Amino acid sequence: MTHPFKSVPVRSYEITPKDVYLSRRDFMKAASVVGGAALLAACAPSAEEAAQNAAPAPVSGATDELGDAVNTYEDITNYNNYYEFTTDKQGVAGLAQDFNTSPWTLEVSGLVNKPQTFGIEDLTKKFTQEERIYRLRCVEAWSMVIPWTGFTLASLLKEVEPTSDAKYVRFETVYRPEEMPGQKSPFYPWPYQEGLRLDEAMHDLTLLATGLYGEPNVTQNGAPIRLVVPWKYGFKSIKSIVKIELTSEQPETMWETIAPNEYGFYANVNPDVDHPRWSQASERRIGELNRRPTIAFNGYGEQVASLYEDMNLQVNY
Amino acid sequence: MKKFPYTPLQIAIIIYAWSGIVLLIFDLLTGNISPNPIQDLEQRTGRHAITLLVLSLLCTPIHTIFKWSEPLKRRRALGLYALLYATIHVIIYMDLDYGLAWSSIYENILEKPRLIVGAFAFLLMIPLGITSFDIWKKRLGKNWKRLHQLVYLIVPLVVLHYVWSKKGDLLSLQGEVLKPMIYGLIVVIFLIFRIPPIKKAIASFSSRYLSPRKKQDPQPEQS
């Protein structure tokens, strides 16, 4: 069977040893210093080119299925929207260092026949781990290509057996303001919550990611377990999940609660539905200087457009 | 001994104003810039422009309260530095960000309320910059002051541009509203200071309690 996206099981010998990996990161840091000077001189992101040569190779190759290079580990782990820590994208990595991901349990409940609470280690053992190279399109009009490791949400949901009343899936991030300083802000309805329609959740593209670049995921990117829904804007891909609940009603999502006219429940990447703040017609791929046109469903239309056949996507944005 | 040509206030303004550009160049050289460098440049120059503009509004209240007249003379420098950073901000947006693709820039500006108010505020700043020199002050006479009171419109527009560029809703106090709210409150307070009865009340209060040396300080020109 050929996949429309890149996907292979990860074998342990393929994973870059940690010491090699870390020394590469040091090299990347040095490269970016040199590159920074070049950036000023030539106004071109030489830092990225230098860093990419040194980056550990993701297991299934260095490009997505469209031929676009994966972003550097450095960029992926130092430019994060994770408001539980801070709204400063470059500040997240530092603040997330002391976030404790062990032990961790994930409760799967609601309209299911077999509600269960899983330890994080059980999940990585029980379900086939594979690497998926996905594009991530942020609603702020920037994007990256990221090599995740994880398993399909569908495989987890099959395990708990949703009942016939289950129509939606609701996700919740951990609430731990003592470790997540951003959660002390009174301006957000914490904890973060997100939702998918059941057919979206069961889609083969929808991933629960536990790893990044062939390594366990890092806290700034939503460790130990996060959702990745590549055809939707990044905010749908909720991080550090502790609860998954099957429901009959469409769940509330945090950003929809804050500004329903800006962040819809579906939030499919769509260059034709404009956001009041950012034009969604184009995006900047991190590591590139020129904007590139945004593709409908973030380039995954062939696989997912059929989910929305009867819907007006201008209304259900 | 020859007198040093700059006052401490002037030196502080020069240091602060140029620190924006100096830090940017330093961060570019040391690689301490975000992986999304163009957006970083846009946001940093924009923030510096807003701060300088808000500081220019602080001069009159300082004079009203402390009867210290030097800040009134520094409004021009603060305003011109703000215009400099706003110009860099706009050039980065049009050139580096949108590659001078005029049709998308045009479309984008007309579609987005935050860009409409930003562009409008920038256009209003240009005549103020041009007429900030003494020769224009003389030539325009009374109209000069009227023209430059446009800053009371420009600053709220710029703050609105900032508020709308953040992911939050200021009316329901949800989302990324803290910093925009602080700027907004400061501007509101600075503008309230200028309402004539309030300004008068503050001036008489402060001359009674805060400025015993009022007598030897002649009342300078105010706006």
Higher pLDDT, A227 or A45: A227
Report pLDDT for A10.
56
Can you tell me whether residue A211 is helix, strand or coil? Answer: strand
Residues of A in contact with B97 (CB under 8 A): 284, 291
Q: Enter the ipTM.
A: 0.81
Inform me whether the pLDDT recorded for A9 exceeds 80: no
Report pLDDT for A60.
57
pLDDT range class, residue A59, cuts 50, 70, 90? low
In this prediction the pTM is: 0.82
Of the candidates A36, A74, A87, the beta carbon closest to that of B33 is on A36
CB contact under 8 A, A291 and B99: yes
pLDDT range class, residue A61, cuts 50, 70, 90? low
Of the candidates A34, A78, A291, the beta carbon closest to that of B35 is on A78
CB contact under 8 A, B111 and A45: no
Rounded to the nearest integer, the mean pLDDT of chain A is 85
Query: Which of A66-70, A217-221, A260-264, B71-75 bottoms out in mean pLDDT, i.e. has the lowest?
Result: A260-264
Report pLDDT for B168.
83
Q: Sort A310 into a burial class: Cβ within 10 Å, 0-12 / 13-18 / 19+.
A: exposed
pLDDT range class, residue A58, cuts 50, 70, 90? low
Residue-wise pLDDT for B129-179, tens only, equals 999 999 999 999 999 999 999 999 999 999 999 999 988 887 888 888 888
Report pLDDT for B214.
47
pLDDT range class, residue A41, cuts 50, 70, 90? very low
Domain chopping of chain B, boundaries: 8-209
- Residues of A contacting chain B (CB within 8 angstroms): 32-37, 39-40, 43, 45, 47, 71, 74-75, 78-79, 83, 87, 89-90, 142, 185, 187-189, 255, 257-259, 262, 274, 276-279, 281-282, 284, 286-287, 289-291
Residues of B in contact with A87 (CB under 8 A): 176
DSSP per residue over chain B, as a string? -PPPSS-HHHHHHHHHHHHHHHHHHHHHHTT-S-SSHHHHHHHHHHHHHHHHHHHHHHHHHHHHHH---HHHHHHHHHHHHHHHHHHHHHHIIIIIITTT-HHHHHHHHHH-HHHHHHHHHHHHHHHHHHTTSHHHHHHHTHHHHHHHTTHHHHHHHHHHHHHHTSSEETTTTEES-HHHHHHHHHHHHHHHTTSHHHHHHHHHHHHHHT-TTGGGS------
pLDDT range class, residue A316, cuts 50, 70, 90? confident
Å between B59 CA and nearest CA of chain A: 31
Neighbours of A138 (CB within 10 A): 20
**Please, what are the domains in chain A?**
7-16+56-308 (3.90.420.10)
Distance from the Cα of residue B149 to its chain's centroid: 13
Residue-wise pLDDT for A131-165, tens only, equals 999 999 999 999 999 999 999 999 999 999 999 99
Report pLDDT for A8.
54
Inform me whether the pLDDT recorded for A252 exceeds 60: yes
Residue ranges of chain B with per-residue pLDDT less than 50 = 214-215
Report pLDDT for A57.
55
Q: Sort A102 into a burial class: Cβ within 10 Å, 0-12 / 13-18 / 19+.
A: exposed
